[in-house]
A and B are shown apart, each in its own frame.
Chain A
Amino acid sequence: MTMVADRPEGLEEAAVATPEFEKAAERAASRRGFLLSLPAYAYLVLFFAVPLVIVMIYSFATRNRFGGTDLSGWNLDAYRKLGEPIVRDILFRSLWLAILTTLICLVVAYPFAYFIATRTPLVRNLMLVFVMIPFWTNFLVRNYAWRVLLGNDGLFTNISEALGLGERELLFTTSAVVIGLVYGFLPFMVLPLYASIERIDLSLVEASRDLYASGFQTFRRVLLPLSMPGVIAGSILVFVPSLGAYVTPEILGGAKTTLLGSYIVTQFLTARNWPVGASLSFVLMAVMLVATLVYFRTGGRNL
């Protein structure tokens, strides 16, 4: 009681909600939000945007005779070089392998994600942990493990010999790279798929079956459309890193199947042609950007 009586008159007026007061509060909130995200912005600008601009500048530069880079005369030579058959082949091969990896991941991960999503919560969490366990081991180490498995005296060759299929040399082939990529990126497909399937009301599946749809029709007409955000998110999460993959092709692939990642590294480190490496990096980024835009355009925001 006394506190109310003691309160200065001005304060009481300020406590009345007015449109101006509301706006001021909104402004204060957005200012706070900006300050809180400042470290993240600073980090991104310093370590992402700035280097990106540097790469872009280099992609328009010319390589000089001594393997250095001449920044004075800007031109599109480096981009023209991408039209050459060797580079084009590498581009298309990488694209094809990334698409193949994505498709295999999709086909393998979908039933698995559906299975997880339809379990009891306890089993569900347990299985999700299993999906993530491989991440606890270094990616490089896991790739070397595949080298052993696929190698001359490895598990796969032994099985194929035991089955009478003859000695199959898998290591250092494109197949080995695809196996390695699928293995490495499968969790990135499983998790978003699981997240979107888990949110589908399973009585919709029953309704579909009740309305004369077969199991496959139910998948095609009900489950797939409703889990599309997960399909697209997972596909991009697999496609993008597959396209630029470096470690897996280096360790499991052969010299015959150079991929984009390796080629870019070669351009920078061995050929010392920084402009070509930079321009290739930029093309790669453009493809990924398009993929990401597709994702957001097709309702990825719902995820």
Chain B
Amino acid sequence: MGDGGNDPVSGQTAAVELTAITKRFGSVVAVDNVDLEIADGEFFALLGPSGCGKTTTLRMVAGLEFPTEGSLKIFGNEAGTLPPNKRPVNTVFQDYALFPHMTVEANVAFGLKMQRVAKGEIADRVQEAISLVRLEGLEQRRSQQLSGGQRQRVALARALVNRPKVLLLDEPLGALDLKLRQEMQSELKALQREVGITFVFVTHDQEEALTMADRIGVMNEGELLQVGTPSEIYEHPVNRFVANFIGQTNLLDASVVSNDTVCLANGVHIPGKSDLPVGTRVAVCLRPERAGMYPPEEVPADQQSVIGRLESVTYLGNALVYTVVLDWARLEVRRENQPGGYRPHVGQEVAVSWTLDAISVVRA
């Protein structure tokens, strides 16, 4: 389950396979030498800040952009230069791009009509798709008469009705408000399980990616930095950027001493596994919720710690975030708001601690 890519044992073909894909717009490199395999039936997220090349990558799979270099295969067939109407993929556009001069029904039927599917079959499949996204009764509405959530469903139905081999979603939830977004997250996930189609979606929202995706590809400045399951990405980010982009994190500057020891910037050697060469500048990634906090003299023997002064406490209701200042770093510690426990005051000396499995060593 862990590796979703081309499985050499079963010989299963990847749904989408990018090999050394590069896309340049003039002198700007939008996508830089990306290799990526997305397995059949997978819910895959391309995650990154805006302008990182994730949308361009998606558009190349859709056929809306052509790669400058490299090979793009869809179910084993070279598709790099095929026009969009010749590819077995469909897209849910960021702003949905519903045809304003057509009803919901006509929007959904459009793809089948263009493929010259028989009239009776079109009617059946359109009805099926409309009920799949629970839009019954709105068939004759126009997109202007729909709410954001409804438009999103129409866009989904319009794509899914064609039974694409891969469904591409460009920031599918970006235009929705928070509550609706959370609802749609679970709905999309359920929908994907129901139809069993490979979903590839682009998002800048790390929470969305973690919640929905089977695997995530993190991109920045055109490069694909890391591909892995949500827990792999969250717990073992490959570098500072990924660690920072996915969730909140504390990064302590350090350098590699041996394959199980690193030297923190304050000169203290602590255990920390890495396979990087000795001397490499790294960062120790300690998630706020994985850090412990104790009075300096009461740190459990099996934990590493650094001592600093409590600068502030942020009250979040369900949790408290403590900011601890060291003379060479600043750490955040998140504690669930539970009765009892250690509650230091601002200005006090505290120890921030961690067990070996709470940290990961990432490239700086």
Contact = CB atoms under 8 A, between A and B. Distances in A.
Given A217-B114, A221-B110, A212 B97 contact: no
A197 B245 CA distance: 40
Nearest to A207: B97
B101 A211 contact: no
Contacts of B83: 209
Given A203-B93, A217-B114, A221-B110, A210 B99 contact: no
A254 interface: no
Given A217-B114, A221-B110, A210 B101 contact: no
Contacts of B158: 211
Determine which residue in A208, A212, A226 has the highest number of CB atoms from chain B within 10 A of its CB, and name it: A212
Contact of A213 (B85, B89, B91, B97): B85
A226 B101 contact: yes
Given A206-B64, A225-B101, A226-B101, A211 B93 contact: no
B90 interface: yes
B116 to A, nearest CB: 9
A208 B64 contact: no
A201 B114 contact: no
Interface size bucket, A side?
A: 10 to 19
Nearest to B89: A210
A204 interface: yes
Interface of B is mostly: loop
A214 interface: yes
Nearest to A213: B114
B122 to A, nearest CB: 13
Contact of A212 (B64, B95, B100, B115): B115
B95 A209 contact: no
A129 to B, nearest CB: 25
A214 B63 CA distance: 13
A178 B63 CA distance: 42
A214 B162 CA distance: 16
A122 B101 CA distance: 30
Contacts of A211: 85, 90, 110-111, 114, 158-159, 162
A201 B101 CA distance: 12
B84 interface: yes
Contacts of A284: none
Determine which residue in A213, A214, A217 has the highest number of CB atoms from chain B within 10 A of its CB, and name it: A213
B202 interface: no
B162 to A, nearest CB: 7
Given A213-B85, A226-B101, A208 B110 contact: yes
B62 interface: yes
Interface string A202-232: 0110111111111001000110011000000
Interface of B: 62-64, 83-85, 89-91, 93-95, 97-101, 110-111, 114-115, 158-159, 162
17 contacts: A201-B95, A201-B97, A203-B93, A203-B94, A206-B84, A209-B64, A209-B85, A210-B62, A210-B89, A210-B91, A211-B159, A212-B85, A212-B114, A212-B115, A212-B162, A214-B85, A226-B101
Closest 8 CB pairs of A and B: A211-B111, A207-B97, A212-B114, A203-B97, A209-B84, A213-B114, A212-B85, A210-B84
Interface of A: 201, 203-204, 206-214, 217, 221-222, 225-226
